[in-house]
Amino acid sequence: MKADIGVIGLAVMGQNLILNMNDNGFKVVAYNRTVSKVDEFLNGPAKGTNIVGATSLQDLVDQLERPRKVMLMVRAGGVVDQFIDNLVPLLEEGDIIIDGGNTNYPDTNRRYAELREKGIRYVGAGVSGGEEGARFGPSIMPGGDPEAWPHVKPIFQAISAKTEQGEACCDWVGKEGAGHFVKMVHNGIEYGDMQLISEAYHFMKEGLGMSHDEMQQIFAEWNKTELDSYLIEITADILGYKDEDGAPLVEKILDTAGQKGTGKWTGINALEHGIPLTLITDSVFARCLSSLKDQRVEAEKLFNNPISSIDGDKAQWVDALRQALLASKIISYAQGFMLIREASEENGWDLNYGNVALMWRGGCIIRSAFLGNIRDAFEANPELAFLGLDPYFKEILENCLPAWRQVVAKSFESGLPMPCMSSALTFLNGYTTARLPANMLQAQRDYFGAHTYERTDKPRGEFFHTNWTGKGGDISSTTYDV
Ligand code: 6PG
């Protein structure tokens, strides 16, 4: 019997996906560039399963049922191109290559177009959920050649996480690099959620002087509210984790955040699309700032800007903080979906936003109860431009607003850095303000550069230039917009 799928790359994600496929009744051929790893896998975790190994790419291809499905679980970048180059001569028209790595979606667009010309169907699939997700049910976001979907659907939907209603957290996202695009935004949102949680922890620890046991309990409590999510749950665990000497391990971890680039790509993309994705972008910058450890240590010594403790009823502050966190999180997702909508429209991807939320509902790092509500919001109104105007989320935002303002104001007052909760609030203040001071900006642009402006008393699209000083001419500069 030929195999259903071949998987290349036996690092932990690859191995776990293969084991997951095997558990679900699919026959998998495993291959790795360092071939000795194949034997180690077959004699180790894959022992006693139906998983088989390949000694070369040709051997892998020969063992596959047609159309052949080959999934790459290798490091994103040039390695993917190398494997594609080596695989294509061995494959036939209609065969399928899937990239399950964290690839930057323009690369997937390019590979999709190149392989389409060669008759190979290409799929770029975002896979989220870390090692455990890969093993027992990840969220999978496949995009690329729609003709490939019926062939990979049974495998992907079987191995993916399921919602409580039994729906697979995997569906077809859209053509070209749409799957990897959605995974990129997922990671951006992941960065935002992690930073928001870190800000709440900082407020509790440095502002309110709470102990780790108290904080652990609070996060565990929050996990029973609308904040119910994987990241809140692991934060409670982390706060409760003691090092060998009994002290909380988290305090021994150096405060410099790493990043592999997906959050940065999301921010760059937002700038390119002109979408105010402020929270995620600020969360990337927060990681950048954290990495300037030596400079920060020096600056703290030289600059008189201490964090002062926060007085008042602790329980009240903690509840205000919960509301600030929830409201900020809504803004982050709202911004993320604004970016997804813009990219969908620009690329003609025709994305289904409710389905995106469903794919993130389970299995992935940002999985949460909240995504069920986001799905409902987009199902009720697929044209929803801003999630915060959906009745459910609008009510939460309005209810949380006073506490959220208090928390942000207090953090500024006490010298606590709070980039994301404050940027979310600033965004909402701007988004719900009909008249912003951009009239002044336009006047300045016209004053120094004859860039023209539109008038409130004239129809949109008519542009005016004023000779502000009497010295400039009446000639305006060309009008073009980014
Ligand atoms: C996932 C994660 C994963 C990501 C890590 C590390 O969805 O399972 O998003 O794909 O690579 O979270 O990301 P950073 O190193 O950039 O924090």
Tokens of 426: 């600033």
**Tokens at 98, concatenated:** 């899937």
* Contact criterion met (CB below 8 Å) for 129 and 363: yes
> In the predicted model, is pLDDT for residue 479 greater than 70?
no
> What is the distance between the alpha carbons of residues 308 and 301, in angstroms, rounded to a whole number?
16
**Residue 263 alpha carbon, nearest atom of ligand 1:** 16
pLDDT tens column, 377-387: 999 999 999 99
Residue among 188, 196, 191 at smallest CA distance from 325: 196
C-alpha to C-alpha distance for 169 and 162, rounded to whole angstroms: 6
Decide if 408 contacts 402 (C-beta within 8 A): no
The arithmetic mean of pLDDT across residues 431-449, rounded, is 98
| Whole-number percent of the chain with pLDDT over 90 | 97
- Beta-bridged to residue 125, according to DSSP, are 142
The pLDDT of 414-442, averaged and rounded, is 98
Distance 74 CA to ligand 1 centre (A): 14
Average per-residue pLDDT for the chain: 97
Average pLDDT estimate for 67-89: 98
Burial class (CB in 10 A: 0-12, 13-18, 19+), 284: buried
What are 158-206's pLDDT values in tens digits? Answer: 999 999 999 999 999 999 999 999 999 999 999 999 999 999 999 999 9
The pLDDT value recorded for residue 298 is 98
Determine whether the shortest distance from the Cβ of 365 to ligand 1 is under 6 A: yes
Short-list 248, 261, 233, CA closest to 102 = 261
Confidence of residue 472 (pLDDT cuts 50, 70, 90): confident
Residue 212, C-beta contacts closer than 8 angstroms, at least 6 positions apart = 239, 240, 248, 250, 251
Which residue in 337, 360, 321 sits closest to 221, CA to CA?
321
What separation in Å is there between the alpha carbon of 13 and the centre of ligand 1? 12
What are the DSSP calls for 154-179, one per residue? Answer: HHHHHHS-B-TT--BSB---EETTHH
Name which of 424, 421, 425 is nearest 201 in CA terms: 421
**How confident is the model over 211-257, as pLDDT tens digits?**
999 999 999 999 999 999 999 999 999 999 999 999 999 999 999 99
Q: What's the CA gap between 58 and 240, in Å, rounded?
A: 50
183 assigned to active site:
yes
pLDDT at 32: 98
pLDDT of residue 165: 94
Q: What is the pLDDT of residue 115?
A: 98
Structure tokens at 378: 């987009």
pTM of the model: 0.96
| 61 alpha carbon – ligand 1 mean position (Å) | 30
Strand, coil or helix: what is 52? strand
**Rg, the chain, Cα only:** 25
What residue owns the CA closest to ligand 1's atom 1? 128
Query: Buried b vs exposed e over 362-385: b needs ≥16 C-beta within 10 Å?
Result: bbbbbbbebbbbbbebbeeeeebe
Neighbours of 127 (CB within 10 A): 29
Q: Is the pLDDT of residue 478 over 90?
A: no
pLDDT tens, residue by residue, 448-463: 999 999 999 999 999 9
Q: Which residues in 428-459 are b (16+ Cβ under 10 Å) and which e?
A: beebeeeeeeeeeebeeebeeebbbbeeeeee
State residue 475's pLDDT score.
Answer: 80
Tell me if 102 CB under 6 Å of ligand 1: yes
Taking the CB of residue 14, how many other CB atoms lie within 10 A of it?
24
pLDDT score of 480 more than 90: no
* Calpha distance 386→12 (Å, rounded): 38
- The pick from 160, 189, 190, 285 for probing ligand 1's pocket by mutation, whose C-beta has the most ligand atoms within 8 angstroms, reads 190
**Which positions ≥6 away from 378 have C-beta within 8 Å?**
337, 352, 353, 354, 357, 384
pLDDT in tens, 321-346: 999 999 999 999 999 999 999 999 99
